Structure 1
Amino acid sequence: MNKQKVSILTLLVAFVFCMAAMCISFGLTHAEDTVGASEIFSTSGSASMDSDGEYLSFSMGGDDNAAVSFRRNLALKWYAFDGEPAVGGDFSAHYLELTFAFENTDFESFTVTLETTQMTMSKAGKTTNEIVFTPNGGSVTAVVNGEGAGVSVSASEPITLALSERDGEAGYGNFVVSVNGSEAGTFTNIGRYYAKYASASADTPIDPLTFSAETDGTVSFAVHSLNDQSFALTDGEVTDDTAPVLVIDSEIKQILLGTEVDFDTVAIDVCSSSVSTTRYYLADGVPATDEDGEPVDPAFEDDDLVGYNDLDSDKRFFETDFNGSNGGTVSIAFRLRDGNSNAACYFIEWYAAATADNGHIAVVHPESVSDTPTLTFDEAQAEAYQAEVTAAALDEDGKSVQVGDGAYYYLPSLRAYASDATCGYTDMTFQIYYRTYNGDTDSASGAYDELRIELEEEGLYEFRVVPVNSAGKVMIGEFEDGQATITGNNVWDAENLTTFRFRVAYNGPSIEEPEEGEVGYVDVTYEFEDFDIVALGDYQTRYKLYRLDLNEGAEPSSVSDVRGGEGASVTENAYGTWTEIAVYDKDLESDEGDNVYDWDPDSSRSFIPQEKGYYKLVVEVASANMPIATASQVVEVTSEADVIPGTSYWLQENLTAVIFLGIGILCLIGIVIVLLIKPKDKDEKKDRA
């Protein structure tokens, strides 16, 4: 064999070796099934993570910011097979389940908080439910939302929290909370079947699951599992062995011919942020066939659902899908796969109000749908809802809710009274018609969690609500001269609508303080957040800026400490005295007196801190003859911005790829060398011979 042949062979071997290396690299990446603990939970304040034990563990002190949070979507209810997957197999509802264990009980209280969207809208924009544990000897007592005597369980054994729904109350936003199998209370006003994560930059941040504590020491606990995903550790990492789940927030009743098949679905995985979805369907009455067109019985085979057809994202059913029939029934399935190759299949009919004998979803012609939504109250129901309406006009202190620009009245849930044959409550929209004693009819509209009336004046309000289904059909009104669609012109004449009333009064301006701001730095412009001021008519504001001059030996450790030390007057504080900073004086030089702070509230709410410490912005709001309202913000200023380099795990997480990249580079060098070696010709060999 001459050198030219050897060179070609070497080139081929090198190429095959490179391809093999790449395949091995891809294979290893595909097979990876462990997840770093920090990818699942996050810590803040004094909280820290320990991944050296049997389970994922945490420790935290009692500072205000200490918390352990699960910051991704969290499933609250879904359906799954009972046992091995099989087409037509048994299934059941599954609910949120969390298991954790205390490693010590050195705390006054330990709180597990669930934040979600809402069934009934409120000013907060989210619902917060919590279960609080307090130690009692060798046990802990769990109390839900501060109500009831609670449930006592052993403090030395794992504790399991589980949600469920009472019979006949599914979809009302209330979940029974059980602790180790014993009912402890109810989580209320939950708007969806999953807790939707919203980051701190969102208008309404939501951390689905949070652990916090009140303690003078350090509390330690371990999280054992969440929604069937174990947090047992192997070499400090969690093995992701649980498939994603499918949550559906739509109350599916039927599908219309010619309309896109689109459900309000979300795929949720505890460990993985990447989930792929494959959709299938099978029209009843149409023979099931395999990919070769041969008749088969629908069944699971490896990763495929044999006998079912692929359901495209823009799929619309037509008569041709049912052998020319004017509709029929279908079975629809979703297969979910996470980034670590865990997969599961879910059938949409499990979540639907299936009416067919086979439990599948009806597909109907749009012209056959004549139903319109209804909103009905019998006498007892009207009295009960009126009581809720009256209560919703009062705040926690029993006074009228605020009135003025930006103030709203939030309607109680209408879930128990609205119905439609074609869609569920959460898929409807609602038109609210309202008026005051001397005012014209006004209106507002929104989904079930957006029902509110702007309170632009005080006095008596009355309102009526008209539902609209997902097909756009409006409730039909009963009038003296017959039936008609309800509009703003005839809404008060409809005999099948109920009028509800509430009264509100103006008690002066109110100020909502923003969340605690970021840390400030010396010589760096700091801008305070805006206050949310609600007032009726014209009002005046005045802003003042203060610096805290500390008493000798006083060392507050946080803004919360300073807040807690506030006195009766604006200048009093347990840690020192608040000294007012003068407004910028144009008659002085920029570096004279307090001009160095560049404080001018008429132009902005910003200033330039000159020394580290604590600063306070105070706002006073005056409106008519009402009492003056005040509020404040406190900011901590440090000497300079600290830049703390973070620990990089890039090499650790990409070690395999780096190794094979190096191998590939070496192979490439070898190929280049082989190509550059020029073989000797036969004539040269003969001359030398």
Structure 2
Amino acid sequence: MSRKRMGLFALIAAFALCMAAMCASFMLTAAEKTVSRTNIFDTSNAQDVTPDYSADSTTYLTYNIGEGGSVRYRRNLALKWFESNDTTADNAFDGTLAYFSLVIGFEDTSSFESFTVRMETTQFSMSKEGKTVNEITFTPDDSGDLAVSVNGTAATATVAEADADSIAIGFASDDTNGNFVVALNGSPLVNADDEELCFTNIGKYYAQYASSSADTPITPLAFSAVSAAAGSEEDTGVNFTIQSLNGQSFAIDAEGDVTDDQAPVLVVDSDIRQLYLGFEIDIETVTIDVCATSGVTTDEYYYIPVENGEEKRSFNEEGALQGYTELASNTVFWQKDFVDNNGDKTENRRISIAYELSDGETSAYYFIEWYAQADADGFIPVVNAENETTRPVMAFMELSDDGEYVPTADATEEYQPAVDEAALDGEGNSIQVGTGAYFYLPSLKAYITDVTCGYTDMDFTVYYRSTNSSSVSTINGSYDELRIELTNEGTYEFRVVPTNSAGRAMTGWFGEKGNYTEKDITTDNVFDAKNLCSFTFTVHYSGPVIEESDEEEDPGYVDATYSIADFEIIGVSGYSENYILQYFVPTDSNKTYTLDEIRAAEQADGTNSLGTWVIINKYDESLDDDDENNNNDYSWDPDSSLSFIPQERGIYKVTVRVTADNYPMVSASKYVQIASNSVEIPGSTDWLENNILSLVFLGIGVLCLIGIVVLLLIKPKDKAAAAAEKERKAEMKEKREKRK
């Protein structure tokens, strides 16, 4: 065999070795089925106490919650979606509706006074809080059985102590208006009046996580408990197990990890009625995996059936989808794409859109038509937007027998009372007025219909005016963005105009009985439209208020500038603010108190039963260095910024006092714990441990590359060159022989 051929084979072998190493790397990555249980839930004053794995029984994630502690699931959580059927079944292209589900358990129900599962979500109807909180609470009685309540309302169902080791919580159904019926062990919960108990005002079909740095932090799921021995030395916390979430089991394996065996799910947060020719496909979808926050791939496909033609879509024996075409992000469909069995264009335009989701090991198909108002054959209609003339219709006005527009019962008996209620706070008083104060419109979904799209896919324009202004103002937004800023007290009047997904806004009818004219609605004519209903509310100003945040101030360090977050002051112009910085000096200098202890000891007059608050004077450059009033080292100048440089460790308090003529003074405080001087501590890293396999294959790849380069550079001699070399050596040998 020639040296040239050997070199070529060596080159091929090196390439094959390199490819094998890469494939092995990919195969090992795909084979990763487990996730560390520490990566799923996080804790605050709670700890993972999961027992060791046992082959004889199932061991689930177990946590112990201490006083004031919680276990939290801080990632997106699916609440409503569709699941795919067996691809070999006759109904393989049908989906099954699925809802949020959770299974928890208690070994000892006597260990707690109450246990709460808390869900935070965005809102269906917007409010000042910016998020909705729903809770289900378990309370043991003397026998150990658990009473159940939803948002404070007692349910008729209970959980026997013997069954408390596995309790299934979930949603049984929903009304598409943000209300989900809560189920316990598969049965809907009801109150004493046989009314279903619900988690209410949920804005999306998933609980959308928002971190603590967001304007409105949202933790989709949290578990908390009040120990039966709270405050005593016998308090050892409350143990509970988390057994599954949305079908994902939390049983641990021999290594203490969780096997991720559930495919990602597709949540469609849109009420799809039809798609449009000439427009890119734009559907609001969210991919959610219980165990993974990254590494999920999404592939999109489409299938257009031929009218009266043969069905060409199917699943093969391996469960792969057949007959579909990849759907690019810029794909646009035209009339020519829709034909009948003769190849002629058809007006019966329909389409199927499929998503394939995979986390690298498990995958599933989802079809958008499951989530849409599909036709009888399960396809989504595709229409020409230019021919779409229908507009949204509101149920607040109707033509009477004598031809006049009059308010309906929906307007007078339902929505106006809801508006009146929205203008009151929890104590029945007027909501606040001033810059930063808002009136939040109640949900309009029950009163708007449109054939082209659903409520959540519409845009809205709210026209409003007040007794303090003759001009008409507007706000524009989606269903969960409708609010009116209340800059002054008085009576406000508003009208709402919806616009559908085809861009068609509701029109107004103007004129007198028997001679109405249809026109587009503008700020100039909106309050003259006969088919629009006005709603009113009245608010009163009661002086400035300070919106106190639930967020704790971060700890600070001596000699490091600390900035206090701004206080949120709501009021009409004309108030004044005074900021005070104080340092806490304990009465007993030998004692050290926590921030919670100091806050609990605060008195109504601003003093503290555990010590004294010493005022830090404002920065004053005119003071001598030895002046006893000189606190310039703190650089405290609230007229410039709410920042200071702590000079001692301990507890500081910043208080704002807001005063306005003819109104009582209001105040609020923020507390800061200052530690010793900041020290930069080198952090540890698990990067090498987490990436050792990748480094091994990288090394193999580098060696293969070196081998290839060497083989390319060391070129073997061909036959002619070898023969010439042999002849040259023979001549040299002959010449040496002749010299002898």
TM above 0.5, yes or no, is yes
Which secondary structure state, in structure 1, belongs to the residue aligned with residue 369 of structure 2? helix
Aligned counterpart, 1:552? 588
Counterpart of 1:384?
Answer: 414
Q: Is the 8 A contact 2:104 2:240 kept in 1?
A: yes
Taking a change above 3 Å as real, the CA distance of residues 665 and 494 of structure 1, as seen in their structure-2 partners, is closer
Which of 136, 143, 150 in structure 2 is aligned with 1:144?
A: 150
Instruction: Please give the residue correspondences for 1:537-686 in structure 2 after superposition, counting only pairs within 5 Å.
Output: 537-552=573-588, 558-570=594-606, 572-589=607-624, 593-641=630-678, 648-664=685-701
Residue 530 of structure 1 and its aligned partner are, at CA, apart by 0.1
SS class of match (1:108) = strand
User: For 1:57-115, what per-residue CA distance to the aligned partner results, in whole angstroms no more than 9, with x for missing partners?
Assistant: 2223113xx32222221110011234446575443210000112224443333221111
**Residue number in structure 2 paired with 1:200:** 212
Partner of 1:188: 200
Deviates more, 1:257-266 or 1:150-159: 150-159
CA deviation after TM superposition for structure 1 residue 370, in Å? 1.3
Correspondence for 2:498 among 467, 488, 491: 467
Q: CA deviation at 1:321?
A: 1.2
Q: Deviations over 1:329-371 (max 9, x none)?
A: 42423233333331111111111112x3313211122233111
Q: Which residue of 1 aligns with 2:379?
A: 360
Q: Alignment partner of 1:62: what SS? A: strand
| Matches of 2:345 and 2:714, distance apart in 1 | 71
2:109 is equivalent to residue 109 of structure 1: no
Does the Cα contact within 8 Å between 1:434 and 1:443 map onto a contact in 2? yes
**CA displacement at 1:404 relative to structure 2:** 0.8
**Tell me, what secondary structure is at the counterpart of 2:243?**
strand
Q: Secondary structure at the match of 1:161?
A: strand
Q: Who is 2:338 aligned against?
A: 322
Q: Which residue number in structure 2 is paired with residue 292 of structure 1?
A: none
Per the alignment, in what secondary structure is the counterpart of residue 627 of structure 1? strand
| Letter paired with 1:69 | R
* In 2, Cα distance between equivalents of 1:533 and 1:599: 21
Return the alpha-carbon distance in structure 2 between the equivalents of residues 457 and 368 of structure 1. 45
Q: Which residue of 2 aligns with 1:285?
A: 306
SS of the aligned residue for 2:373 comes to: coil
The reply on whether 1:98 has 2:102 as its aligned counterpart is yes
Which of the residues 507, 521, 534 maps onto 2:542?
507
The correspondence of residues 388-407 of structure 1 with structure 2, limited to 5 A, is 388-407=418-437
Q: Deviations over 1:28-69 (max 9, x none)?
A: 112212112222222234444648452222223113xx3222
Work out whether residues 47 and 58 of structure 1, in 8 Å CA contact, stay in contact via their aligned partners in 2: yes
Per-residue deviation, 1:589: 4.6
Q: CA offset at residue 663 of structure 1?
A: 4.1
Amino acid at match of 1:308: Y
1:555 deviates by 5.3
Runs (5+) with no aligned partner, structure 2: 54-58, 190-196, 397-407, 734-740
Letter of the 1:207 counterpart: T
Asked if 1:370 corresponds to 2:389, the answer is yes
Distance in 1 (alpha carbons) for counterparts of 2:5 and 2:461: 83
Q: Relative to structure 2, which stretch is displaced further, 117-126 or 14-23?
A: 14-23
| Structure 1 residues 684 and 23, CA gap change in structure 2 (3 angstroms) | farther
1:348 aligned residue: 368
1:418-429 superposed matches below 5 A: 418-429=448-459
Q: CA RMSD in A?
A: 3.0
Tell me: CA distance 1:672–1:344, structure 2 relative to 1, closer, same or farther (3 Å). Answer: closer
Aligned counterparts, 1:62-141, within 5 A: 62-63=67-68, 66-84=69-87, 88-89=91-92, 90-105=94-109, 106-136=111-141, 137-141=143-147
SS in 1 for 2:631: helix
Cα distance in 1, alignment partners of residues 535 and 2 from structure 2: 99
Task: Say if 2:37 and 2:257, in contact at 8 Å, map to a contact too.
Answer: yes
Matches of 2:238 and 2:324 in 1, distance apart? 53
- Give per-residue Cα distances to partners, 1:422-450, cap 9 Å, x unaligned: 11001112221222234222222221101
Q: Are 1:476 and 2:476 an aligned pair?
A: no
The reply on whether 1:529 has 2:545 as its aligned counterpart is no
User: How does the TM-score come out when normalised to structure 2?
Assistant: 0.85
Q: Tell me the number of residue pairs that the alignment of Structure 1 and Structure 2 aligns.
A: 677
Distance 1:110 1:228 in 2: 22
The correspondence for 2:438, drawn from 387, 408, 423, is 408
**1:298 Cα deviation after fit:** 3.1
Distance (whole Å) between structure 1 residues aligned to residue 88 and residue 527 of structure 2: 54
Tell me the SS of whatever aligns to 1:165. strand
- Single out whichever of 406-415 and 131-140 deviates more from structure 2: 131-140
Amino acid at match of 2:215: D
Q: Aligned partners of 2:165 and 2:61: how far apart in 1?
A: 16
More off after superposition, 476-485 vs 619-628: 476-485
Equivalent residues of 1:523, 1:609 under 8 A apart = yes
Does 410-419 or 8-17 show the bigger shift? 8-17
The alpha-carbon deviation at position 587 of structure 1 amounts to 2.3
1:228 to 239, 243, 247: 247
Shift in alpha-carbon separation, 1:555–1:492, aligned structure 2, 3 A: farther
What's the secondary structure of 1:61's corresponding residue? strand
Q: Structure 1 288/564 Cα, relative in aligned 2: closer, same or farther at 3 Å?
A: farther
**Following the alignment from structure 1 to structure 2, what is the Cα–Cα distance between the partners of residues 194 and 565?**
41
Do structure 1's residue 213 and structure 2's residue 249 form an aligned pair? no
Contact residue 393 and residue 448 of structure 2 kept, 8 A: yes
After superposing the two structures, state which structure 1 stretch, 660-669 or 401-410, moved more. Answer: 660-669
Look up the equivalent residue of 1:485 and give its one-letter code: D
Instruction: Tell me how far apart the structure 2 counterparts of residues 614 and 511 of structure 1 sit (CA, whole Å).
Output: 22
State whether residues 358 and 364 of structure 2, in contact with CA within 8 Å, keep that contact through their aligned partners in structure 1.
no
Larger deviation, residues 580-589 vs 644-653: 644-653
Q: Could you say which structure has the larger radius of gyration?
A: 2
Percent identity over paired residues = 47
Task: Provide the rounded CA distance (Å) in 1 between the counterparts of 2:119 and 2:309.
Answer: 44
Aligned position for 2:555: 519
Counterparts in 2 of 1:176 and 1:669: CA distance versus 1, 3 Å: same
Alignment pair present for 1:259 and 2:279: yes
CA distance in 1, matches of 2:313, 2:462: 51
**1:337 partnered with 2:337:** no
> Corresponding residue for 2:172?
164
Equivalent-residue separation in structure 2 for 1:233 and 1:281 (angstroms): 39
1:95 maps to a residue whose letter is: Y
- Residue type of the alignment partner of 1:165: S
CA-to-aligned-CA distance 1:147-187 (integer Å, 9 cap, x gap):
23464214542111111325xx2x20001111223434211
Aligned with 1:445: secondary structure? strand
SS at match of 2:504: coil
Partners of 2:366 and 2:576 lie apart in 1 by: 59
Change (3 A) 1:535 1:10: same
In structure 2, the CA distance between the partners of 1:6 and 1:490, relative to structure 1 (3 Å rule), is: closer
Distance (whole Å) between structure 1 residues aligned to residue 371 and residue 536 of structure 2: 37
Query: How far does residue 386 in structure 1 lie from its aligned partner after superposition?
Result: 1.4
SS state at 2:476 partner: strand
Whichever residue aligns with residue 22 of structure 1, its letter is: M
Tell whether the 8 Å contact from 2:172 to 2:186 is kept in structure 1 after alignment.
no
